[in-house]
Amino acid sequence: MDRIRVRMAARAVDEPHRASSQLELLFDLTFVMAVAAVTAQLAGHVADGRAGAGIVPFLQVFLPCGGPG
Predicted confidence (pLDDT) at residue 54 exceeds the cutoff of 80 = yes
Cα–Cα distance for residue pair 53/40, rounded to 1 Å: 13
Residue 4, in any domain of the structure? no
Q: What is the pLDDT of residue 67?
A: 53
Tens digit of pLDDT for each residue in 10-21? 767 777 777 778
Q: What is the pLDDT of residue 69?
A: 47
Domain count, the chain: 1
Residue 12, in any domain of the structure? no
Other CB atoms within 10 A of residue 54 CB: 20
Span 39-67, mean pLDDT?
84
- Whole domain around residue 55: which residue ranges? 22-62
Sequence-distant (6+) residues with CB within 8 A of 10 are 21, 23
Q: What is the pLDDT of residue 3?
A: 66
Residue 11, in any domain of the structure? no
Q: What is the pLDDT of residue 9?
A: 74
